[in-house]
Structure 1
Amino acid sequence: MGGHAKARGAAAALGVLGLLCAVLGAVMIALLPSLIEQQVLKNVRIHPSSLSFNMWKDIPVPFYLSVYFFNVLNPDKVLKGEKPQVQELGPYVYREFRHKTNITFHDNDTVSFLEYRSYQFQPAKSRGSESDYVVVPNILVMSASMMMEDRPMSLKLMMTLAFTTLGQRAFMNRTVGEIMWGYDDPLMSLINKYFPGMFPFNGKFGLFAELNNSDSGLFTVFTGVKNFSRIHLVDKWNGLSKVSFWHSDQCNMINGTAGQMWAPFMTPESSLEFYSPDACRSMKLIYKESGVFEGIPTYRFVAPKTLFANGSDYPPNEGFCPCMESGIQNVSTCRFNAPLFLSHPHFYDGDPALAEAVTGLHPNQEEHSLFLDIHPVTGVPMNCSVKMQLNLYIKAMSSGPAAPAHVRVVLPPQSGAMEGETLRSFYTQLVLLPKVLHYAQYVLLGLGCVLLLVPVVYQVRSQGPKDGGRRPSLAAGPEQPPSPHTPLLQDALHGQPASPQA
């Protein structure tokens, strides 16, 4: 009896355990998605208590600015009207460091900040050094010439005389470091003296002279604490809700985020929109495909073909005009009226005439398209490669040196990928743990169902026959009382004399 009692108790215990597992599994299936959603919403908002706040404040992703120069091989022949021949040099790689300061939270669910950028040259990642010499268009001379086009003839003559006196030419041969971070030029001093405010440079002139150790403007973005539907969206930039560089309200709108994080729970129908102070406009990327980065599921977003299309091919871009061929965008109105144009590298996705006008360009998708890989659950970028080309448009002028149209100046792709401890922590907390919980809920439910069968099976087996399996025949009649002659018959069968009857 003791063995049966123990078996019955064990079966009952397993049944209770199975019930608990099944209930827990069912509860997890019902509630886990909403719990994960609540945790994600809690930890991606901009608040000191959120897990992503430090990541937002000091971006741990190492960004690299890879700069390519187009070395002009035939500058003298170009001035005579021949097609430019260029050789791509680089990359010259710089590590970009970003950190936010002046972080101020406001009562209207927004936070404002300044984000400073600094750059350090990375010789090990570069193909060349900052002391390499490159023949490129003289941006200062050509820009000044273009700006003098509508000025009085007297000023044009003065500028031409200044070019000659100072030995200024349409092309210059300078080092990468000088072109990037600035060089002393007597022409700059002359321009600042007689034409103050023409250029926003007071010292050395360089393509990135004003970017190093500078901020990208005062951003004010929504935190998502009170109203999650607007999380990370830009409210104002430098106190403005829209810019005034362009010729239409649509083009002047400040849309999207500051380009660092986006709203979570993305779908293939989502798009990435952000405001770029460097491009002086908002940009929108579209979904291309899903993928995996270091074990983390991602959505890849790319630039649409209409990003730099002209107003004829894409009417909404009419506000960015005056336009030229599709594939280049005029940014002169936000770059002190210098004839500068933005495009994809090698005029990828642009009018074929652009690349055909120069010898040495080879546009292709793999090397020259831009993309962002985003973790769709959190809206955090995992990997990115933002590639832009800066172009200088010049035409022959009577007031200055003759020059070609569409001379390529510099190609500054920017890339970054999450790595190291940040990547491992992100994977553990936001990928591995939810995946384990996802499978655990079904394991618990299945295990609970199996354990619930144990007491059922035991009960069925315990109610079986206890007489060795012998059952009375259903065909037998009612039990008959023993015959009085039966003992005599049994005695006779065993050879015993019958007892006399009374």
Structure 2
Amino acid sequence: MGNLSRARRVTAALGFIGLLFAVLGIIMIVMVPSIIKQQVLKNVRIDPNSLSFNMWKEIPVPFYLSVYFFNIVNPEEIIQGQKPQVQERGPYVYREFRHKSNITFNNNDTVSFLEYRSYQFQPDKSGGQESDYIVMPNILVLSASMMMENRPGFLKLMMTFVFSTLGQRAFMNRTVGEIMWGYDDPLIHLINQYFPNLLPFKGKFGLFAELNNSDSGLFTVFTGVKDFSRIHLVDKWNGVSKVNFWHSDQCNMINGTSGQMWAPFMTPESSLEFYSPEACRSMKLVYKEQGVFGGIPTFRFVAPNTLFANGSVYPPNEGFCPCRESGIQNVSTCRFNAPLFLSHPHFYNADPVLAEAVTGLHPNPKEHSLFLDIHPVTGIPMNCSVKLQLSLFLKSVKGIGQTGNIQPVVLPLMWFEESGAMEGETLETFYTQLVLMPKVLNYAQYVLLALGCVLLLIPIIYQIRSQEKCYLFWISFKKGSKDKEAVQAYSEFLMTSAPKGTVLQEARL
């Protein structure tokens, strides 16, 4: 009797535990997605108490700037009117350091900051030294010549004389370090002396001189603390909500983020939009495919074919004109009116006539397309490679002898890649907190529900078995009682004396 009572207590306990497990599993199935969403919303906003704040403030991902130059093989022949021939040199790789300062939280749910950048040459990752010499167009001479194209002839003759006096030619031979970070040029000193406001720089001239040890402008972005729908979106840049470089309101709009983080919970219908101070415009990338980086699911976003399309191919880009062939964007209005163009490297995804006009260009999507791999749940980049090319339009300008018989051509100067990938401890922490733990919780809720259902079956099965035993015992007891009554009746019959006159017969087989 004691064993039976103990078995009943154990069975009841298991059933109660199963009920708890099942209820807990159901609660987790209903609540866990909401809890995870709330935690993501809490920790991706720009708030000193959020987990991603330090990542936003001091980007832990190592960024590299890789620069490739187009060395001019035949400069004298170009002046005589022949087709340009270039040879790609590089990469010249620099470690890029970024940090935010002057972080100020405003009353309208925004934060303002300056992001400073500095670069350090990496000889072990480079395909050459900063002391390498590169032959390339003299941007100052050729740009000034283009600006003088429609001016009176005597001004052109005067400029030709000035160029000759200062030893300026259409092409120059400079080191990588000089082209990147600046060189002293007597022409710059002369221009600044007589036209002090013509150039935006006063010292050395270099393609990246303005970027090193400088900031990218004052960004003001929404924190998402009060209004999550606008998280990371740019409110203003340098105090303005739109720029004035272009010829339409749409092209002048400052859209998207500052290019570091985006809103979470992305879908394949989402797009990545950001404002680039270097390009003086907003850019939009589109979804391409799903992938995995370091065990973390990602969405890959790439540049659409219309990013640098001209106005005739893509009417919304008409505001960036005057345009030339499709696939290159005129950035002269934000680059001291120099005839500079922005595009993909080697004129990838542009009108084929651009690459055909220069010998030595070989555009292909694997090497020259850009991409960003984003963790869709948080909107944080895992891996990125942004590749852009800077080119100069040059041609002969009648009256300026230095330009000779140069045929009109958009000549590539260089292209660069800014790349970064999450790695090391940062990647492990990200994977543990944002991938592994949600996955464990997801499995745990179904395991609890299944285990709870199994434990709930134990008392049910026990109850059914108990009822079967009782029934069998009752049937067995009832059948045994009838047999005993029959035997007893037969025995009594034999023991009773036979009536007189009755003949007993012997039983025979």
Q: Give the TM-score range, shorter chain.
A: over 0.9
Distance 2:317 2:245 in 1: 13
Corresponding letter in the other structure for 1:87:
Q
Is 1:440 aligned with 2:469?
no
Q: Assess, with a 3 A threshold, how the Cα gap between structure 1 residues 355 and 490 changes in structure 2: closer, same or farther.
A: farther
CA distance in 1, matches of 2:127, 2:137: 22
What is the alpha-carbon distance in structure 2 between the residues aligned to residue 490 and residue 102 of structure 1?
122
Shift of residue 151, structure 1, vs aligned partner: 3.6
**What letter matches 2:321 in structure 1?**
C
Q: Deviations over 1:323-352 (max 9, x none)?
A: 000010000000010110000000000000
Partner of residue 457, structure 1: 461
In the alignment, the residues of structure 2 paired with residue 25 and residue 416 of structure 1 have an alpha-carbon distance, to the nearest angstrom, of 40
Deviation at 1:481, TM superposition (A): 10
Specify the code of the residue in structure 1 equivalent to 2:202.
N
Distance 1:150 1:334 in 2: 21
Equivalent residue runs for 1:25-424 within 5 Å: 25-397=25-397, 398-402=399-403, 403-404=406-407, 405-424=409-428
Amino acid at match of 1:247: H
Instruction: Name the structure 2 match of 1:498.
Output: none
Report the alpha carbon displacement of residue 143 of structure 1 after superposing the two structures with TM: 1.5
Verify the 8 A CA contact 1:159 1:400 in the aligned structure 2. Answer: no
CA displacement, residues 183-209 of structure 1 (integer Å, 9 cap, x when unaligned): 111111111112222222211111011
Task: Give the C-alpha shift of residue 81 in structure 1.
Answer: 1.2
Residue 470 (structure 1) aligned with residue 476 (structure 2): yes
Q: CA deviation at 1:157?
A: 2.2
Deviation at 1:144, TM superposition (A): 1.8
Counting matched residue pairs gives: 492
| Cα offsets for 1:101-128 (capped at 9, x unmatched) | 1111111111111111111111111111
TM-score (normalised: structure 2): 0.93
**Percent pairwise identity:** 74
2-side partners of 1:108 and 1:378: how far apart?
23
Q: Letter of the 2:274 partner, please give it.
A: F
Give the direction of change, closer, same or farther, for the CA distance of 1:490–1:36 in structure 2 (3 Å limit). Answer: farther
- Alpha-carbon displacement from aligned partner over 1:16-37 (angstroms, at most 9, x marks no partner): 1111110010000001111110
Which residue of the other structure, out of 480, 486, 490, is the alignment partner of 2:492? 486
The one-letter amino acid of 2:338's match is A
- Change in Cα spacing, 1:472 to 1:131, as seen in structure 2 (3 Å) is same
Query: How far, CA to CA, are the matches of 1:183 and 1:43 in structure 2?
Result: 46
1:142 match: secondary structure: helix
Structure 1 residues 316 and 41: alpha-carbon distance in aligned structure 2, compared to 1, 3 A threshold:
same
Contact 1:285 1:304 survives alignment (8 Å): yes
Which digits, 9 at most, give the CA deviation of each residue in 1:387-424, with x for residues without a partner? Answer: 00000111111225224521111111111111111111
1:483 deviation in Å?
A: 3.9
Give the letter aligned to residue 400 of structure 2: S
Q: Which amino acid aligns with 1:417?
A: A
1:496 matched residue in structure 2: none
**Partner Cα distance (2:478, 2:351) in 1:** 99
Q: Which residue identity is paired with 2:462?
A: Y
Shift of 1:2: 2.2
8 A contact 1:145–1:400 mirrored in 2:
no
| Higher relative helix content | 2
Aligned partners of 1:254 and 1:281 also within 8 Å: yes
1:242-274 per-residue CA deviation (whole Å, 9 max, x = no partner) reads: 000000000000100100000000000000011
Which runs of 5 or more residues in structure 1 are unaligned? 492-502
Alpha-carbon distance, 1:150 to partner: 3.5
Q: Which amino acid aligns with 1:202?
A: K
**Over residues 220-260 of structure 1, what are the superposed CA-to-partner deviations in whole Å (9 max), with x where a residue is unaligned?**
11000000000000001001010000000000001001000
- Asked if the contact 1:163/1:400 (under 8 Å) is kept, the reply is no
Partner of 1:429: 433
Between the aligned partners of 2:487 and 2:125, the Cα distance in structure 1 is 109
Q: Which residue is equivalent to 1:497?
A: none
Letter in 2 for 1:424: E
2:505 counterpart residue number: none
User: What's the counterpart of residue 499 of structure 1?
Assistant: none
How big is the shift at 1:149?
2.4
